[in-house]
Amino acid sequence: MLMKKDTLPTFKRLIIVSYRLPFRFVKTHDHTVIIPNSGGLVSAILSLSERLQLPGLSEGKMPIHWIGRGEEIPPGKMTGPEGESPFTLHPVSIPANLNEKYYSGFCNNTLWPLFHYFPWLTNFREDQWEAYVQANKRFADILDHIIQPGDFIWIHDYQLFLLPGMVRKRFPKAIISFFLHIPFPSFEIFRLMPRKWRESIINGVLGADTIGFHTHAYARYFLLSVRNTLKLPYKGKSDIIVDGRWVSFNSFPIGIDYEKFHGDCTSSHVLKEKQKIQKSIGNKKLIFSIDRLDYTKGLLHRLHAYETFLENNRDWHEKVVFNMILIPSRDSIAQYQSMKKEIEATVGRINGKFSNLGWRPLIYQYRSLHHAELVALYDMSDVGLITPLRDGMNLVAKEYIACQVQNQGVLILSEMAGAADELSEAIIINPYDQHETAQAIQDALEMPDGIKQERIRMMQKKVRKNDVIQWAKAIFNYTLKTSLNYENIGSENLSKD
């Protein structure tokens, strides 16, 4: 008996699976403090756990279980800044020697550079591929003991490409959704992987009912890779048939907790941080950027563009400051250590070239910021310089837009970031073109207030509407509809290459 297409089933529990758990644990004398890990996924799901009314939930909170690599859960009471953990945590044990080949190896030396269009930095090692397979199996083994009828299984990101297929084999009727947080590359890049690997990755992802991407382009590239790799039948632009069932995929651009960022701009903690910034910069215009230390972020390209701006605009000397913040990341790896040294040398050279006793054009910080510092910096900055060479989405751009309350700024955004598809009112640049980026800095600093305000208003409307709650709801609804598709597949108008 078929159910109506607009009828959605309910689910009883949300099972989130990601490479790492959302918290780390710090033991005190009488209890354990939980500290959130950094990253867009953790902050997004924390917001969801606080605000989202999930399907089928009549009262109380939806049980959320989180599976990820992490240390053993300490016994006894656990508290954090927001109280007790909103999740039931299930750690996956991955020994250090396996994790070195799996995460540091295949994930970060094969998938990460290849999917971000840096094939010359990509390693293709069979032992690291085998470690990737073994690590995905460890996640599947933990899920074996957790999955119950009525669960919604939400698997995240490139570290777990094989997991949906593994779960599907063990639980054929499970409701499974997979979301990729990084770009999916064109087939000409994807096909550089050995055939066995790319076939296994595609088959693994197709174990899900639905597959989510940040942009239509990533979804289109995925379809082309499926068609060229496996020759599976498909319908339209978003449906594939696998073992007699539908698999659907679409773009679901991730959002932020707009109300939190926007509202925090006037909190007492943020106001204190704003006063510090104002005292530091005086009447100078403030440009900012904040990124993890990573070659995909275009950090040296950005510095060279700022140097070009200073060379071409002597009248802006002593009137502008660029605050460049790098969040420590993988700094134990030789390649990243070398990149950090080159960045610091470039910062020193630019400051030595242009600064005087009363003005330093570049302020460089290598540290993490707490939330109040970050929100204050967003709101006080006249220009947000967000110029990655390739980025799945880039939530910093959306956070910056949400925090334009006291000071209406201008967003300069790389066309290589997924966020550029939504935030078209930003000044969109090619990050490889330092002259275009330098001109964009000048245009942003000299943009009339009325134009700035209108652009910010239009972008804030988009970011508010498409927040993290709407992102999750869209994925839940899309997946539940797909899992209910009991139509006769044989009667469909199918294509097969």
> Annotated active-site positions, please?
181, 391
Q: Are strands 239-242 and 234-235 parallel, antiparallel or unpaired?
A: antiparallel
Angle at which helix 40-51 crosses helix 468-483, to 10 degrees, equals 80
Q: Are strands 320-327 and 362-366 parallel, antiparallel or unpaired?
A: parallel
- The torsion of the CA quartet 226, 227, 232, 236, rounded to 10 degrees, works out to 100
Question: Contact 163/21 with Cβ under 8 angstroms?
Answer: no
Which residues have a Cβ under 8 Å from the Cβ of 68 and sit 6 or more positions away? 17, 18, 19, 20, 21, 22, 89, 90, 91, 92
For residue 459, how far is the Cα from the chain centroid? 19
Which one, of 469, 485, 471, 487, lies nearest residue 8 by Cα? 485
Angle at which helix 449-465 crosses helix 395-402, to 10 degrees, equals 120
Q: Are strands 32-36 and 23-27 parallel, antiparallel or unpaired?
A: antiparallel
Q: Is residue 47 within a helix (H) or strand (E), and if so which, with residue range?
A: helix 40-51
Residue 127: φ, ψ to 5°: -65, -30
Decide: residue 360, CB within 10 A, 0-12 exposed, 13-18 middle, 19+ buried: middle
Question: Contact 415/430 with Cβ under 8 angstroms?
Answer: yes
* Token pair of 353 as six digits: 């070239």
For residue 409, how far is the Cα from the chain centroid? 23
DSSP string covering 80-116, please? BTTBS-SSEEEEEP--HHHHIIIIIIIIIIIIHHHHT
Alpha helices in 145-292 (DSSP H): 163-170, 187-190, 195-205, 216-230, 258-264, 268-281
For residue 302, how far is the Cα from the chain centroid? 21
DSSP string covering 105-174, please? IIIIIIIHHHHTT-GGG----HHHHHHHHHHHHHHHHHHHTT--TTEEEEEESGGGTTHHHHHHHH-TT-
Residue 161: φ, ψ to 5°: -55, -35
Which one, of 412, 374, 419, 424, lies nearest residue 392 by Cα? 419
* Token pair of 332 as six digits: 């134990």
